[in-house]
Every structure is written in structure tokens, then in C-alpha cells.
Amino acid sequence: MSTEILVFFIFVLSIFLGFELISKVPSMLHTPLMSGTNAIHGIILLGGMLALADASSRLALALGFIAVVFGSANVFGGFMVTDRMLQMFKKKKK
């Protein structure tokens, strides 16, 4: 079995896992959940870093730099804003 097939297998399993994970979430947590998963796809920052490290032309440097800025804003902003939302949920428990 080639690596590509194995990786694709992981991909298919992840699809089902994603469905299972959120199927039982109360609707009041939908906003934080959307925001939290939004932060998780900020892992694209890794891709940006790897691409920028490999960049050898000016164009590649510029695009890689933008990708890193974007990815970094996505990941850090995403987790912070989610935490801010969830903090408010917790506070009112008396």
C-alpha cells in the first residue's frame, strides 16, 4: 500500500471523526465551537513557515511572508477570541 493511500485513509477516517465529535453539541456552544475550529485550521501557519523557509525568489519570499502573517493572525487571534467567549460562559456559574 502506498503512502498516498495510507494518508488518504487517515483523511477519510478524519471526516467521520469530525462528524462524530460535534454531533452532540448544544446550540449555545455553536459560536465558540465555530470559532475554536476556525483557530485549529490556523495550523496552516506551519505550512506557511515551511514554504517561507524554502522560498528562493523574491516573489516566493513575499507570498510566504504574507502566508505566515495570515496564518499567525488566524491561529493566535482564533484561540484568543474563543477563550474570551468561553471565559464569559464560565463566569456566570455561581
Partner 1 sequence: MSPFIAIIFIAVAVLFILGIKLMGSPKTARYGNLLAAFGMLIALAATVPLLGSWETSQLLHGWSLNYILMVVGIVIGLIIGAIGAYSVKMTAMPQMVALFNGVGGGAAALVASLEFIKEASTHYEVAHETSAFITGSMLFATLIGSLSFSGSLIAFSKLQGYLEKPHTFPGQNVLNGLVLAVILGLCVYLTGWATTNSTAFIVMFSLALVFGVAMVMPIGGADMPVVISLLNSFTGLAVAADGFTINNISMIVAGTLVGSSGTLLTLLMCKAMNRPVTNVLFGAFGSGGGGGKAGASDLAGKTVKPIQADEAALLLGNAQQVVIVPGYGMAVAQAQHQVRELSDELGKRGVEVRFAIHPVAGRMPGHMNVLLAEANVPYDQLCEMEAINPTMDRVDVCLVIGANDVVNPAAREDKSSPIYGMPIIEADRAKTVIVMKRSMAAGFAGIENLLFYKDNTRMLFGDAKASLQTLITQLKAS
Range 64-83, binding partner 1 (CB under 8 A): 64-83
State yes or no: residue 9 binds partner 1 (CB under 8 A): no
If binding is defined by CB under 8 A, does position 22 make contact with partner 1? Answer: yes
What is the rounded distance in angstroms from the CA atom of residue 3 to the CA atom of residue 7? 6
- Interface size with partner 1, residues (CB under 8 A): 82
Give the torsion sign (CA, 29, 21, 81, 35). Answer: negative
Q: Give whichever of 1 and 19 is closer to partner 1, judged by the CB atom.
A: 19
C-alpha 74: how far from its chain's center? 8
HSE, CB side, 13 Å, CA atoms: give it for residue 52.
16
CB-wise, 1 or 24, nearer to partner 1? 24
Task: State CA 84 to chain mean position distance.
Answer: 17
| 55 contacts 61 by C-beta, under 8 angstroms | yes
Question: Site map for partner 1, 32-71, x if CB under 8 A?
Answer: xxxxxxxxxxxxxxxxxxxxxxxxxx-xxx-xxxxxxxxx
Q: How far is the CB of 2 from partner 1 (least distance, A)?
A: 9
* 88 contacts partner 1 (rule: CB under 8 A): yes
